[in-house]
Amino acid sequence: MSRRVPAALTAALLGHALPAATWLSPVRRLTPRIAGRGGPRHVALTLDDGPDPSSTPLFLDELARLDCRATFFVLGAMLRRTPSLGRRIIAEGHEIAVHGWHHDNTLTTRPGRVTGEIRDTVHLVQDVCGVTPSWYRPPYGALSTEALVAARRNDLRPVLWTAWGKDWTSSATPSSVLETLAPGLRGGATLLLHDSDVTSAPGAWKSTLGALPEVVRRCRAAGLAVGPLRDHGVHP
pTM of the model: 0.86
How far apart CA 191 and CA 165 sit, in angstroms, is 8
In the prediction, which pLDDT does 25 show? 56
Quote the crossing angle between the two packed helices 83-91 and 56-66, to the nearest 10°.
10
Under the banding of pLDDT at 50, 70 and 90, the label for residue 113 is: confident
Nearest to 181 by CA among 146, 155, 210, 223: 210
The arithmetic mean of pLDDT across residues 96-121, rounded, is 86
Which residues are designated catalytic?
48, 194
Residue 27 has pLDDT above 80, yes or no: no
Distance CA 95, CA 172 (A): 26
What does the alpha-carbon distance between residue 103 and residue 80 come to, in Å, rounded to a whole number?
Answer: 14
Q: Identify whether 139 is preceded by a cis peptide bond (ω within 30 of 0).
A: no
pLDDT over threshold 70, residue 22:
no
pLDDT at 172 over 70: yes
What pLDDT, on the 0 to 100 scale, is given for residue 235?
64
Query: End-to-end alpha-carbon separation of the chain, Å?
Result: 21
Q: Quick check: 175 pLDDT over 90?
A: yes
74 contacts 86 by C-beta, under 8 angstroms: yes
